[in-house]
Amino acid sequence: MRLSDAIEEFIKELWEHDEAEVELKRNELAEYFRCAPSQINYVLSTRFTPDHGYAIESRRGGGGFIRIIRIQRESHETLRYLLNERVGEAISAKEAQILCLHLAEQGTISHEDAELMYAALRPQSQSVPIPEPLKDVIRAKTLKNMLLSLAQRGSQQ
Amino acid sequence: MRLSDAIEEFIKELWEHDEAEVELKRNELAEYFRCAPSQINYVLSTRFTPDHGYAIESRRGGGGFIRIIRIQRESHETLRYLLNERVGEAISAKEAQILCLHLAEQGTISHEDAELMYAALRPQSQSVPIPEPLKDVIRAKTLKNMLLSLAQRGSQQ
DNA sequence: ACTGCTAATAGTCAAAGATGGTCAACATCT
DNA sequence: AGATGTTGACCATCTTTGACTATTAGCAGT
């Protein structure tokens, strides 16, 4: 297993209950995994981003720390944010996948629907010879249309 | 026997029971068969497509892999038929919509999922300057990937 | 209290390593 | 000849490490 994945898993196990945040010491963690301290930053910047539903705070110097905060939002708020601010004009398959999986993690949609959405957004759905940037544009439009459909579900009851 | 056929067979033997997926390392497999790594891609792209009931996921970089996901044997017949015969290389938005609605009508999928699928397939998702015929091709690929995802439901790891 | 030094932290960035992907030329069937 | 298969050169992405940088708390000297 990749080091990064192990560290990611380890960090996620730090949450015991419903706490909003956990704290860790970068150097301690690095020593525990016998890796370069900057490896911790790598894990944080690739797996604990706002797209994944996390925010990071930290302080250097004596008594320094890294705090990882889980972002809590209402489902409709999340959808609004994704539609109006996050997705934008273009989006990569990777980013789109992260967003879909996070929607499921957060309970806004089922894991099955997340898979369904990701299936539509995966690179294989666009394996035709057109410029890559255009694919990201189509993907963004597709994703937004699906998000819109999700938003309408809720508001119909 | 052709190399491609041997590789195809080898990969199919990786499934031991009813697992939904297997993983492999492209370079290892290529070395085993003493062929160019890209030969593996050729086999995957010609014999493990959605039409054949497979989906591919992969990751590059250290610890990279190729994951092949297989449609479940007990998958809904209707979905199989659509994947293998009905959809084809290209499909119009109109046809796709009718197809989704029909699936919901006959209870194969929920109305909500039908809406979600159609949202992804509607013309607005592809309002970029590319040749119209290509759009129908992308739509077909997208639809097939979603159908595959639906057919996979119920398969536990 | 104020200043400045030091130790203790964390952050950034670029290079190297480890994989997989694409594409076009060439080869071999049918 | 056309379809299918094979290869290799070049590209893209992900991970890991290390050198260098930035920030903060505590303390010693005044």
- The torsion of the CA quartet A138, A142, A143, A147, rounded to 10 degrees, works out to 150
Using DSSP's 3-state secondary structure scheme, residue B11 falls into helix
For B60, other C-beta atoms within 10 Å of its C-beta total: 8
CA B155 to chain centre: 15
Phi, psi of B132 (to 5 degrees): -50, -45
Per-residue pLDDT, averaged over B32-47, amounts to: 98
Strand C CB shell (< 7 Å): A 25-27, 37-38, 40-41, 56, 58-66, 123, 127, 129; B 24-28, 37-38, 40-41, 45, 56, 58-66
Could you give the CA distance from residue A107 to residue B150 in angstroms, rounded to a whole number? 19
Task: For chain B, give the mean pLDDT.
Answer: 95
pTM above threshold 0.75:
yes
Phi, psi of B54 (to 5 degrees): -125, 150
What percentage of chain B carries pLDDT values higher than 70? 97
For B119, the closest of A119, A125, A146 (CB atoms) is A146
Residue type, A51: D
For A113, the closest of B116, B138, B145 (CB atoms) is B116
Interface test with B, best of A116, A122, A132, A148 (most B CBs within 10 A): A116
Per-residue pLDDT, averaged over B75-92, amounts to: 93
Rg (CA), chain B: 17
Instruction: Please check the confidence at residue B149 and state whether its pLDDT lies above 70.
Output: yes
Specify the higher pLDDT residue, B75 or A40. A40
Per-residue pLDDT, averaged over A21-39, amounts to: 98
Q: Residue B145: list chain A partners with CB under 8 A.
A: 119-120, 122, 124-125
Contacts of B123 (CB under 8 A, 6+ apart): B93, B135
